[in-house]
Amino acid sequence: MCLTGMCYPQTEGTRPAHLNPNYTGPAAPGEPLPAIELPADQAFIHPGILHTQAEIDQIREHLAAGEEPWTSALKALQASEHTRLDYQPKIVPVINPHDKTIGYLMKDATAAYGHALLWSLTGNKAHADKAIQILDAAGSKLQAIDLGRRDQGKITAGFTGGKYASAAELLAHYRQPDGSSAGWSQESADKFKQMLVAVFYPRLQGFKPEFNGNWDASMMAAMMAIAVFCDRHDIFNEALSYYLNGKGNGALTHYIHPHGQNQESGRDQVHGQMGLAALAACCEIAKNQGLDLYSAAGNRLATGYEYMAKYLAGHDVKVVGDVPLSPKGREEFRPGYELVFQHYVIEKGLDLPYVRETVMKHRPEGADLIILPSWGTLTSYLGQPSGVSSPSPSQP
């Protein structure tokens, strides 16, 4: 077993190691980065996971004016199978990461987040009630996530914990323009907090440094989201420290090379997009708490996204090492690009032409059962600065 997260698995017979579905490596060389943390005396900002009060209110203004791309993106969210008002949670007390119960967990978390977003953006109380029903079912019933074979329970918690926490954060803290809340009782919210800390956090602790980096990245994002909702500085700073200087493949400079190639580029491009999106979620959560992870290692995340977008667009890219880039998943788009487009291109003015092209091609960005930053066109894109017209899909 590779204990450093920096080497190749054993080749099975004559089959190249990188063709193994569980291929791990090679990681980028890594570099020490300045440590940052959220001071213990600095209160968490709420709502403050992927969405702030001001951002949602701004999006509501675009929707009220019937503007695009938000109007079409809202219709896509409303048409999702996960935001139907007849959706019924299927949570069970113990999640087995190897059977259908993991599907129940993923769908419930995605549905809770989708309904919480719809209540926040439209004021339709029926969606708040549905999200509360889903969260209360988990808060009262969910007792454990089994570790499972190859520690699959850890990534199960990573894939779902952030969406649960994001839904809870909106229900507990977002206020409608008239000042009204979702109506989630403090008792139920506290019970849900206790469940997140007792069931999810133990699975996220320690991460999984010897596995592919999307594991670490997803667990960091879930840990940060849970920390915000639960007001846990210790948990938040644990994830921050790992993002910057963790020993595993998911730490920023282990996952992304200086030129943009990622640790899973030789495996496939779907898992690579999963890892990048989770790192983007970490950056956005930190940003909403007043900390800057986006600029770490010279905007390394932007470089990783531009590299991925360029390769997915059919162009040749630089490759380091002896492992070729995998064409698998090269035509499969996954959410997360709107977050980096908004921050790096719109707010910071960086030139990321392939990220821009990808965003325009795939609007409205939808949801994914695994990836935390979903529905990005609706929730992450805030519009061009005053006096700058929004780009059209035909003119990226």
Residues 6+ apart with CB under 8 A from 373: 50, 277, 280, 281, 284, 335, 336, 338, 339, 380
What is the reported pLDDT for 331?
95
- Cβ-count burial of 389 within 10 angstroms (0-12 exposed, 13-18 middle, 19+ buried)? exposed
Q: Average pLDDT, stretch 70-93?
A: 98
What is the reported pLDDT for 21?
72
What is the reported pLDDT for 14?
60
Q: Cα–Cα distance between 105 and 357 in angstroms, integer? A: 34
φ and ψ of 94, to 5 deg: -125, 125
Number of neighbours of residue 270 by Cβ within 10 angstroms: 18
From the CA atom positions of the chain, what is the Rg in Å?
20
pLDDT > 90? residue 10: no
Q: Average pLDDT, stretch 99-126?
A: 98
* DSSP-derived pairing of the beta strands 144-145 and 94-95: parallel
- Cβ-count burial of 174 within 10 angstroms (0-12 exposed, 13-18 middle, 19+ buried)? buried
* CB half-sphere exposure, 43, CA atoms < 13 A: 3
Which sign does the torsion angle of CA 117, 122, 125, 126 carry?
negative
Q: Cα–Cα distance between 260 and 317 in angstroms, integer? A: 9
In DSSP terms, 262 is beta-bridged to 256
pLDDT > 70? residue 217: yes
- For the entire predicted model, the pTM comes to 0.93
| 250 and 271 Cβ atoms separated by less than 8 Å | no
Q: Could you tell me the pLDDT band of residue 394, with boundaries at 50, 70 and 90?
A: very low
Q: Average pLDDT, stretch 113-136?
A: 98
What is the reported pLDDT for 3?
29
The average confidence (pLDDT) of the chain is 93
Q: Could you tell me the pLDDT band of residue 18, with boundaries at 50, 70 and 90?
A: confident
What is the reported pLDDT for 385?
65
Q: What is the pLDDT of residues 139-162, one digit of tens each?
A: 999 999 999 999 999 999 999 999
Question: Which two three-digit tokens encode residue 103?
Answer: 């599907």
pLDDT > 90? residue 5: no
Q: What is the pLDDT of residues 27-59, one digit of tens each?
A: 999 999 999 999 999 999 999 999 999 999 999
**Least confident stretch, 191-195, 197-201, 287-291, 385-389:** 385-389
Please give the torsion angle defined by the CA atoms of residues 80, 82, 86 and 90, in that order, rounded to the nearest 10 degrees.
Answer: 160
Q: Could you tell me the pLDDT band of residue 270, with boundaries at 50, 70 and 90?
A: very high
Q: Cα–Cα distance between 53 and 99 in angstroms, integer? A: 38
Q: Could you tell me the pLDDT band of residue 22, with boundaries at 50, 70 and 90?
A: confident
Higher pLDDT among residues 1 and 38, named by residue: 38
Closest CA to 46 of 190, 207, 166, 126: 166
29: cis peptide before it, omega within 30°?
no
Give me the domains of the chain, ranges plus CATH numbers.
44-379 (1.50.10.100)
Region of residue 208 (left: phi > 0; alpha: psi -120 to 50; beta: else): beta
3-state secondary structure of 145: strand
Q: Average pLDDT, stretch 333-345?
A: 98
| 305 and 373 Cβ atoms separated by less than 8 Å | no
Q: Average pLDDT, stretch 181-185?
A: 98
